[in-house]
Structure 1
Amino acid sequence: MNSPRPSPSSSSAAFEDAWSPRFGRSLRESRLSGQFVWRAALLLMLAVGVMACDDDDDDGGFSAGRPDAPTNLTSFTGDGQVVLVWDPSDDEVESYNVYALIDQTDEFELIGVTTSAAFLDDDVVNGDTYFYKVTALDFDGDESNFSNEAFDTPRPDELNVLIESAGVDPAEAGFDLTTGQVVSATSSSATFRFEEIAGVPRLVPANGAEVQSVGFVDALSCRGAGDCIELNFAPESGYFPETAEALVGAAYVFRIPRGGDRLFGAVRISHTAPGVLVFDWAFQTDANNRELLRRPLLVE
C-alpha cells in the first residue's frame, strides 16, 4: 500500500523531505545548497572589492582613470630654498600640486600649485630636511597619483667672497664656513686661511679642520642648468690637514669637528691674483649631513 502524500498542512520540512527530485536530493537539501552557493559568491565579491580598495591605496590614495603622474622629481639645494623640477605628465593637464612632508608628520601637505614643471619652495629653514611629492591635475579637476619622492636639506651659501693673503692683510685672510664670515688668519673660528707659499696660492686648514680637493666643477650649484658640473655630496673619507693649492675652477670640501659631530662645507675658487683670492662657498648646518647640493631620487 502506498504511503499517502503529505497534506499541505504538514510542516515545510516534512514536505521538502518527502519529495526526492531526480537529482537525488530533497527540496530542502537543494535549497540549503543554493543558499550556501549564494553566500559563498557574496563573500567572494566582497573580498574582490577589498582587494581593489587596497590597490587604490598602493597608488597613492587616488582612483584609477586619473592623468598620468609626473615623473623624475628632483630637488636642488639652495640657501633658504629648495628648487623642484620634474618631467611633466604624459597627459594634457592644467596644473601641478606640490606636497611636502613637514615637521616629521606622516602626511604630505599641499604647499603650492604651479602650471610649470618646476617649483621654488622658499618657506624652508636651513639645516631642516624636507620631503616632496607632486601630482598632476587635469582640466576636469581629476588628480593623478603621486610622483616619486625627493628630499632635501637647504643650507647657506654665497658667491664671490674676497679675502687677502696672510702676507698682505692677516686680518682679512681667514674664513669661517660655519658663520660665512671673513676672519683673521689666526682666529680660533677660522675654517681655513689663505696663504701664498713660494708664490703659489694655498688653502690652509685651521683649528682642526681637514680639506679634500674634489676636482673641477662649473659651480657649487648649477640651479638646474644643463651641461653644468656641480658638487653634490661631501666625500665620506679622504680628508687631510695639509694645505691644498687653490686652483681656479676647483672645489674643496672641508670637514669641521664640532664636539662628537662633523660639519661639512665647500668652496670653489673663481679667481686668484697676487695677494687676492675670490671664491664661492656652501655650508651644511645639519651636523653629519654631507649634502651640499642635490639629493638623489628616491624610487618608490
Structure 2
Amino acid sequence: MKTKLTFLAILILITFFTACNVNDSYYEDYTPPAPPTGIQVLNGDGRVDISWNPNRESDVAGYNVYYSYTFEGRYTLIGSTSNNYFIDFGASNGEKYYYAVTAYDYNGNESDLSYDVVYAVPRPEGFNQTIFDYRRFPNNAGYSFANYSVVRYDDQNSDVFFENYQGTYYLVVWDDTDIQDMGYTNDIYDIPFAPASGWSPSKDVIAKVGHTYVIWTWNNHFAKIRVTNITPDRIVFDWTYQLVEGEPMLKPSVKGGIRQQINKASLER
C-alpha cells in the first residue's frame, strides 16, 4: 500500500509540472515596446536617412518607419527594418516629410509613434563643380543654382561668381543676393540651416578651402557651397540648393516637441 501511494504522489507531481509547462508555452505577451527615441534625419538628394536609438527591450524584433506630409496628419508606413536606421529612397526633392518610428516585438505588439518631431526637405546637391575667374573667363565664372549650371558671371540667373583680385580669392554675389562665410566644415552637410542674420554687407567674402558659404538668392531660396580647391584661375566646390522658397533647411535634423499619441488604427499600411 505504501508503494502504491508513493507512485501515485509522483504521478500527481509529474502531471502538475507538465501542466505548468503547457501553460507557460501558451503565455501571451500583450505589452508593446516603448516608442523609439532620438529620431534624427539627414537630408539628401532625393533621399532621407533616418536613424534612432535602439530599443532596450530584449524581445524587440524590428521597427516600422512612417511618414506624413504634416505633423498632425495621417502617417503612412514606408518600410520596416531590424536595424536602427532606414533610408527613404522614395522622397522627392522640394517636399516636406515628417517621420515617425515604432518598435514591434516578436508577438506583433507595436509601440506608439515616436515622440520626436522631425522633418526633412530633400534638395538637389552637386559635387566638384568648377567656375573660373570672371576677369579672365567671364563666360564661365558664374553659377546658377536654379538651373544647376555654369553661366556668365553677369547673367541674370547668376547667383555667385568667382574673382581673383591681385591674388586674393573672392566669392561674389549681386546686390539682390546675400552671402555669409560659415567657417570651416568637415563636409557639405555640416551646416543644417541658413542663418537669420550676419550676411556680408560688401556682397563678397574671401574664399577659403574647407569653408562653407550660405547664399540667400535673389528669389528667396537658400543654397550653400563648400570650397574644396582654389587655383588662380578657378574654384571648385560642392553645393546644395533648397527648392522650397524661404525654407532654411539645408541639411536637416530637427528635434524637440512632443507628439500626441495617435491611434495606430488610423495609420495607412
- State the match for 2:155 in structure 1: 187
Match of 1:198 among 154, 166, 169: 166
2:146 corresponds to 1:159: no
Asked if structure 2 preserves the Cα contact closer than 8 Å seen for 1:126 and 1:153, the reply is yes
Q: Report the residue type matching 2:142 in the other structure.
A: G
Match of 2:39 among 67, 70, 73: 73
Asked if structure 2 preserves the Cα contact closer than 8 Å seen for 1:77 and 1:152, the reply is yes
2:76 corresponds to 1:116: no
2:53 corresponds to 1:95: no
CA offset digits 1:177-235 (Å, max 9, x no partner): 222211111211000111100111111103621111111111122xxxxxxxx111000
Question: Which runs of no fewer than 5 residues in structure 2 stay unpaired?
Answer: 1-28, 259-269
* TM-aligned CA deviation for residue 299 of structure 1: 2.9
CA offset digits 1:98-130 (Å, max 9, x no partner): 011137882111111111111111212212110
SS in 2 for 1:279: strand
- State the match for 1:246 in structure 2: 207
Asked if structure 1 preserves the Cα contact closer than 8 Å seen for 2:131 and 2:234, the reply is yes
Provide the rounded CA distance (Å) in 1 between the counterparts of 2:162 and 2:216. Answer: 17
Runs of 4 or more, structure 1, over 4 Å off, are none
Higher normalized contact order (CA 8 Å, seq sep 6+, divided by chain length) = 2
Provide the rounded CA distance (Å) in 2 between the counterparts of 1:299 and 1:185. Answer: 44
SS in 1 for 2:139: helix
Asked if structure 2 preserves the Cα contact closer than 8 Å seen for 1:95 and 1:115, the reply is yes
Change over 3 Å in CA distance of 1:64–1:139 after alignment to 2: closer
* TM-aligned CA deviation for residue 94 of structure 1: 1.4
2:244 corresponds to 1:286: yes
- State the match for 1:233 in structure 2: 193
Q: Report the residue type matching 1:113 in the other structure.
A: S
Provide the rounded CA distance (Å) in 2 between the counterparts of 1:174 and 1:251. Answer: 17
Question: Which runs of no fewer than 5 residues in structure 1 stay unpaired?
Answer: 1-62, 222-229
Match of 1:296 among 254, 263, 268: 254
| Residue range with higher mean Cα deviation, 117-126 or 188-197 | 117-126
Asked if structure 1 preserves the Cα contact closer than 8 Å seen for 2:175 and 2:203, the reply is no
* TM-aligned CA deviation for residue 64 of structure 1: 7.3
Asked if structure 1 preserves the Cα contact closer than 8 Å seen for 2:159 and 2:177, the reply is yes
Asked if structure 1 preserves the Cα contact closer than 8 Å seen for 2:30 and 2:109, the reply is no
Aligned residues: percent identity?
Answer: 30
Taking structure 2 as the reference length, what is the TM-score of the superposition?
0.80
- State the match for 2:110 in structure 1: 143
Q: Report the residue type matching 1:89 in the other structure.
A: N
| Residue range with higher mean Cα deviation, 97-106 or 198-207 | 97-106
2:222 corresponds to 1:264: yes
Structure number, greater radius of gyration: 1
- State the match for 1:9 in structure 2: none
CA RMSD of aligned residues (A): 1.8
Q: Report the residue type matching 1:117 in the other structure.
A: N
* TM-aligned CA deviation for residue 163 of structure 1: 1.4
* TM-aligned CA deviation for residue 167 of structure 1: 2.8
